A and B are shown apart, each in its own frame.
Chain A
Amino acid sequence: MKRRATVKLIGAALLGLALTAGNAMAQQKDKMDKVTVMLNWYLTGPNLAFYSGKERGYFEQEGLDLQIQEGRGSGPTVQAVAANNVTFGYADISTMIKVASKGAPVKAIGVAVQTSPIALIGLAEKNIKKPADVKGKTVAVTPGDAPSQMWPIFLKKNGLTESDFKVVSGDAKTKVNAVITGQAEVLIGFSTDQTNEIEAATKKPAHALLFADYGVNNVGLGIVAHRDLIASNPDLLKRFMRAATKAFEDAQKNPEGAVALALKVNPKAASQEALLTGLRATLPLLHTPESAKDRPFRVSAKAMNDTVNLMVESGGLDKGTGPATNFYTNDFLP
């Protein structure tokens, strides 16, 4: 009798302890700010630093309870931020500038990928080593996406015309299939994504010819925020950017570790090799020569000006579009 009563007492005490501890933890989480970030695409090399950074606790240290959502393209992600459906977006900043110039109240608060990842990608054995090699070949394109927007100006700057080659159009999957099956020799896409997709499927090396090396260098992925949030809660933005900068620096120093952490969160996302190759392809693009000594996300004025000029030249922006400073700010960077 006595023993049963003691057990009951101990059990009740433990339960009480657990409840208060749980309550305390919940209260602590309540004290943190809930923020959501919508990525540009599914979990890939260029965006896995958010997952690894969250696992390392960088966001929690800044009092941020971060929810990461995979996206379906930079366009929809920017629109989600503009509609206040998510706190932040991680999207192609050139695309964001386009949407912003049409009235969307968004601004970039940090540009991660500062050198353009847009490239002509194909199997290395097809020997497309310079733009002129495209003559007479078949190029796979996705109408409307970011690479296809910069394609005409790439042609112009390198002395090519539409009649020099054949075009097949398809969605993202079909484009890669076309190169794998040989229906096309090259595709225009992102050196950080499709190169490893092709290598993984064919087990042969793939080669990416970067647009940035041939006169078309506009900025890529970065963090997008709503103008209202920028005005109302600058402290939140500073905390987020501190955490994000640490996350990206950590991925720079230890890519394998970052990939492992990301896969812990989402094991089915992709293979370890694909994520590692994608991340390794992204790291050199996180800077331009002007920002080489700076921490991640601090883009140079030159890179942004070049981007706006390039987009006006390619017809993506109206001639009267204001200065690049309308579209980005480094004020919230550590």
Chain B
Amino acid sequence: MNKLLSSNWVRPLLLVFAVLVLWDICIRVFHIPQYLVPTPLAVLEQGWIEWPMLLRESLPTLYATLGGFALSVLIGVPLAMMIAYSPLVESYLYPLLVFSQSIPKVAIAPLFVVWFGFGVVPKVIVAFLLGFFPVVVTTAMGFKSVESDMIDLARSMGSSRLQMFFKISLPHALPSIFASMKVSVTLAVVGAVVGEFVGSNSGIGYVLQKANGNFDLPLMFAALVVLSLMGVILFVVIDLIERLAIPWHISQRGSAPAASA
């Protein structure tokens, strides 16, 4: 029993179950009407009935998320490297990056639709704009935190700059890169949905708008659950890749190292 309880999956599921029970009790005790907050059972029922539609509509959102996320990594990592290695670039670029991050994407998303039309492009751009800042900041920090002793040692042994990059800097920065990717992918999901609210006729954002207009609260909640699940799955996928790529890192070594003594 104890072993089952301490398994990684059982604990969060137990908490979710407890929250659902509490939610249902609150609705009954406070007589909250259905048109304000739906019961968990109503949400599950609607989710089950509409499952094929929800699955179908989650694909466009997924594509936009992956597109925005890919751009975040492909543009963010090289940018972070430039910032880490050149104080000149950092002094020009960094303040602008922070400034751009404060612009609310929901306000400028309609402009993207005007410039790039109704399609997947505005969604990918909004997802990219939301997701690339964590990648740049954390990755730059990762590259900067390489111990200078190691670099000096390598240089004293005659290593070229390319060798130093691939054998020392990049492996040292990988844990930061993966951490930033986890944050970035969940933000990219949000960005894709914001893009859909503004201009799209497919995707979970579209389902949310229609459900909201029809006062179909159970469907709205069900769509939100699907959206969150998408974020969780993407997060787990990156976590698995991280485990394969950097098994040596302390965060991957798991518990009970002391037992081996």
**Chain A interface (Cβ within 8 Å of chain B)?**
75, 79, 82-83, 98-99, 102-104, 141-145, 148-149, 167-171, 173-174, 177-178, 181, 183, 316
Chain A, Cβ-Cβ closest to B214 = A144
A104–B33 Cα distance when bound, in Å, is 8
* Interface residue tally on B, bucketed by range: 20 to 34
A144-B210, A144-B213 known; A102 and B34 CB under 8 Å?
A: yes
B113 touches A170 (CB 8 A): yes
B212 at the interface (CB under 8 A from A): yes
Question: B35's contact among A82, A170, A178, by CB below 8 Å, is which?
Answer: A82
A79-B35, A143-B206, A183-B118 known; A98 and B110 CB under 8 Å?
A: no
Chain B residues with CB below 8 A from A144, complex form = 209-214
B197 touches A168 (CB 8 A): no
B198 at the interface (CB under 8 A from A): yes
Q: Lowest 5 A-B CB distances belong to which pairs?
A: A144-B213, A169-B201, A170-B199, A168-B118, A143-B209
Interface code B212-247, partner A: CB below 8 Å = 1, 0 otherwise? 111100000000000000000000000000000000
A104-B33, A143-B209 known; A99 and B215 CB under 8 Å?
A: yes
Chain A, Cβ-Cβ closest to B114 = A177
B200 at the interface (CB under 8 A from A): yes
For chain B, residues 114 to 167, give those with C-beta under 8 angstroms from any C-beta of chain A.
114, 117-118
Query: In whole Å, how far is A273's beta carbon from the nearest beta carbon of chain B?
Result: 23
Chain A residues with CB below 8 A from B201, complex form = 141, 143, 167-169
Interface code B33-77, partner A: CB below 8 Å = 1, 0 otherwise? 111100000000000000000000000000000000000000000
A143 touches B213 (CB 8 A): yes
Chain B residues with CB below 8 A from A169, complex form = 118, 199-201, 206
A210–B145 Cα distance when bound, in Å, is 65
A168–B196 Cα distance when bound, in Å, is 11
Query: In whole Å, how far is A49's beta carbon from the nearest beta carbon of chain B?
Result: 27
A28–B110 Cα distance when bound, in Å, is 48
Query: In whole Å, how far is B56's beta carbon from the nearest beta carbon of chain A?
Result: 16
**Chain B interface (Cβ within 8 Å of chain A)?**
33-36, 110, 113-114, 117-118, 197-201, 206, 209-215
A102 touches B35 (CB 8 A): yes
Chain A residues with CB below 8 A from B214, complex form = 98, 144, 149, 316
Query: In whole Å, how far is A333's beta carbon from the nearest beta carbon of chain B?
Result: 27
- Between-chain CB contacts (< 8 Å), 24 pairs: A75-B212, A75-B213, A79-B36, A99-B35, A103-B33, A104-B33, A143-B206, A143-B209, A144-B210, A144-B213, A144-B214, A145-B213, A148-B213, A167-B201, A168-B199, A169-B118, A170-B118, A170-B198, A174-B114, A174-B199, A177-B110, A177-B114, A181-B114, A183-B114
Chain A residues with CB below 8 A from B34, complex form = 102-103
A149–B209 Cα distance when bound, in Å, is 12
B215 touches A102 (CB 8 A): yes
Chain A residues with CB below 8 A from B117, complex form = 183
A177 touches B113 (CB 8 A): yes
Chain B, Cβ-Cβ closest to A176 = B110
Chain A residues with CB below 8 A from B215, complex form = 75, 98-99, 102
The CB with the most chain A CB atoms within 10 A, among B118, B200, B206, B210, is that of B118
A83 touches B36 (CB 8 A): yes
Query: In whole Å, how far is A9's beta carbon from the nearest beta carbon of chain B?
Result: 59
Chain A residues with CB below 8 A from B113, complex form = 170, 174, 177-178
A171 touches B114 (CB 8 A): no
Chain B, Cβ-Cβ closest to A145 = B213
A79-B35, A168-B199, A171-B110 known; A178 and B213 CB under 8 Å?
A: no
Chain B residues with CB below 8 A from A103, complex form = 33-35
B110 touches A173 (CB 8 A): yes
